[in-house]
Amino acid sequence: MLSIMSFIDILHLALRNLRQAKLRAVLTTMGVVVGVAVIVTMVSFGLGLQGNMLARFKALDLFSEIRVFGRSLGNMAATTKDRGAGRSNEPSERRQGRLRPDNSPTRILDDTAVAEIAKIPGVAYVEPHISFAVYVRSNGRVSTQFASGVAVPNSSSRFQEFVAGKMISLPNTDEIVISERFAKDFGYENFPDAVGKTVELLAPLDEKKADKDEQSSADQEPANFFGIPLDDQAPDEASPEGLVTQTFRIAGVLKTEVREGPGQGGLRGLLPTSDIYLPLRTARAWTLEHRSPMGQVALELARGSGALGDSDTEGYDSAVVRVLDPVALTDVRKRIADLGFGSFSIVDELEQLRTVFLILDSVLALLGGISLLVASFGIANTMIMSILERTREIGIMKAIGAEDREIKLIFFVEAAVIGLTGGVIGTLLAWAIDGIANRLAYRFILKPQGASYVDFFSLPPYLSLGAILFAVVISILAALYPAARAARIDPVKALRHD
């Protein structure tokens, strides 16, 4: 025979005690319910915020891309700290914030370097970045636009979705893809209307007489090229205005923004966006042919100072490196730095972001913790009241052979039952609050803006279980003093017949 009271019997006694003061037990439990609901709602909101952010970065390819920077022409040309060169004026750069490399590059990012980087294990592809401002004519309208070179074929997610048409078919065609904005700006009513239409890039006959407008935007555009074969360049035509034009055909209209899922509203990848994408080599040739006066000056200075050989090219301003597995990103970056290039990855920002979220989550949990602390006082109060009422009963139990340990256990189990019940109901309540808040946010904020449903909260099992466990532990801690006091009851006094 086991001479120890079974847990079932202790549980029975504890439940019986709770039943005897039902209202009090319910009110005490309510305190725990509120405390746990606050904790879980708060923390699930913090986690949700974090999760949504990470999912967004992931959906936008930001975890698998590294932006690599080579030594720029401006850097080589200027002998004092150059504030103009290297500053980006592209709209998407401004939107994404300035992407600064971690260390200043010592090497020129040319085709050899691109090939070297492409050989680093874990690299899926390297896409050099060329971007320039240019006057464009299409559908009878003219305006300045930003154009970028794009590798063809291209596997990055940015070039997977089109609202009309398709991707540029071959690296050497005169096809381009345009953004939705471009299509709208140039008066194409429907996106499919734009497909197949022509776009003319305009340049002066003699680039040294480039007009002022182009100069002001192009002088801040260091991505220029020099000294590469021009064999695949389309023939320029002289226009009636005395300008050189190069004609392209619109192959497709890009679905510029992510409209569905966690990435909605964002731009994809680290590559700056443009409104016109033309094949990389064509873009290269264009920048070489129609170099801006500022770019020309920088090139001459760089060559003069000996930083650049007389026949050397200045290389690409930057390139986007896509890794096969985001886990390998840090290693790849190290290899890139070893090669003498600067790089930027969103992961850098992520570390800071993690710290911010840790603080946010802690503050939110603390707020919840305080409400649970208040609830624990309720538990202690209930227990002490119960002891006062049950003094004789406890005396009887001791007189018939209950050990102190068993008396204490009854109280701990009582508290644990309150904590467990409150914890479970509180978690369910938080779950309901999350759901309602999500629905309200969708109905009144997201839907009117045309956005799709977003779950603002993250309620992982460990949070629910952790909160319940926490509630139980806090409850038991609250019962520590009352239980000790119950065990100290003097049976002689408790049983005195008055």
Scanning 178-186, 221-229, 257-265, 489-497 for contacts with another protein by CB under 8 A, the matching segment is 489-497
Q: Which of residues 74-103 bind another protein (CB under 8 A)?
A: none
User: Judged by CB under 8 A, does residue 20 bind another protein?
Assistant: yes
User: Judged by CB under 8 A, does residue 495 bind another protein?
Assistant: yes
Scanning 74-82, 84-92, 138-146, 388-396 for contacts with another protein by CB under 8 A, the matching segment is 388-396
CB of 30 to another protein, least distance (A): 24
Strands (E), 9-106: 65-69
Neighbour-count burial of 450, counting CB atoms closer than 10 A to its CB (0-12 exposed, 13-18 middle, 19+ buried): exposed
Select 401 or 448, whichever has its Cβ closest to another protein: 401
CB of 435 to another protein, least distance (A): 41
Binders of another protein: how many residues, by CB under 8 A? 29
User: Judged by CB under 8 A, does residue 23 bind another protein?
Assistant: no
Scanning 71-79, 122-130, 345-353, 391-399 for contacts with another protein by CB under 8 A, the matching segment is 391-399
Q: Which of residues 128-187 bind another protein (CB under 8 A)?
A: none
DSSP assignment letter at 109: B
User: Judged by CB under 8 A, does residue 15 bind another protein?
Assistant: no
Tokens 């479970």, located at residue: 424
User: Judged by CB under 8 A, does residue 484 bind another protein?
Assistant: no
Q: Is the dihedral of CA 281, 287, 290, 291 positive or negative?
A: negative
Angle between helix 404-441 and helix 461-478 axes, rounded to 10 deg: 140
Strands (E), 340-448: 342-344
Across the strands, what pairs with 127? Answer: 320
- Which residue among 118, 163, 301, 396 contacts another protein (CB under 8 A)? 396
SS3 297: helix
CB of 478 to another protein, least distance (A): 24
Alpha-carbon gap, residue 80 to 283, rounded angstroms: 31
Scanning 330-338, 366-374, 392-400, 418-426 for contacts with another protein by CB under 8 A, the matching segment is 392-400
User: Judged by CB under 8 A, does residue 397 bind another protein?
Assistant: yes
| Count helices and strands in the chain by DSSP H and E runs | 17, 12
Tokens of 356: 């911010």
Scanning 172-180, 207-215, 303-311, 486-494 for contacts with another protein by CB under 8 A, the matching segment is 486-494
User: Judged by CB under 8 A, does residue 37 bind another protein?
Assistant: no
CB of 29 to another protein, least distance (A): 21
Scanning 161-169, 282-290, 387-395, 449-457 for contacts with another protein by CB under 8 A, the matching segment is 387-395
- Which residue among 33, 402, 418, 486 contacts another protein (CB under 8 A)? 402
Across the strands, what pairs with 323? Answer: 123
Alpha-carbon gap, residue 318 to 433, rounded angstroms: 47
Q: Indicate the helix (H) or strand (E) that contains 165.
A: strand 162-165
Tokens 């409150």, located at residue: 422
Q: Which of residues 251-280 bind another protein (CB under 8 A)?
A: none
How does DSSP assign 229-274, residue by residue?
A: --TTPPPPEE-TTSEEEEEEEEEEEE--S--SSTTTTPPPSSSPP-
CB of 416 to another protein, least distance (A): 19
Determine how β-strand 141-150 pairs with β-strand 131-138. Answer: antiparallel
User: Judged by CB under 8 A, does residue 9 bind another protein?
Assistant: yes
Alpha-carbon gap, residue 90 to 365, rounded angstroms: 41
User: Judged by CB under 8 A, does residue 388 bind another protein?
Assistant: no
Q: Which of residues 423-482 bind another protein (CB under 8 A)?
A: none
- Which residue among 82, 257, 404, 455 contacts another protein (CB under 8 A)? 404
DSSP assignment letter at 209: G
Scanning 38-46, 151-159, 246-254, 404-412 for contacts with another protein by CB under 8 A, the matching segment is 404-412
SS3 24: helix
DSSP assignment letter at 343: E
User: Judged by CB under 8 A, does residue 393 bind another protein?
Assistant: yes
Select 440 or 495, whichever has its Cβ closest to another protein: 495
Site string for another protein, 313-332 (x = CB under 8 A): --------------------
CB of 16 to another protein, least distance (A): 7
Do residues 68 and 318 lie in contact, with contact meaning Cβ atoms separated by under 8 Å? yes
Do residues 474 and 373 lie in contact, with contact meaning Cβ atoms separated by under 8 Å? yes
DSSP assignment letter at 316: B
Q: Is the dihedral of CA 396, 401, 404, 406 positive or negative?
A: negative
Scanning 8-16, 80-88, 190-198, 240-248 for contacts with another protein by CB under 8 A, the matching segment is 8-16
Positions that interact with another protein (CB under 8 A): 1-6, 8-9, 16, 20, 392-393, 395-406, 490-492, 495, 497
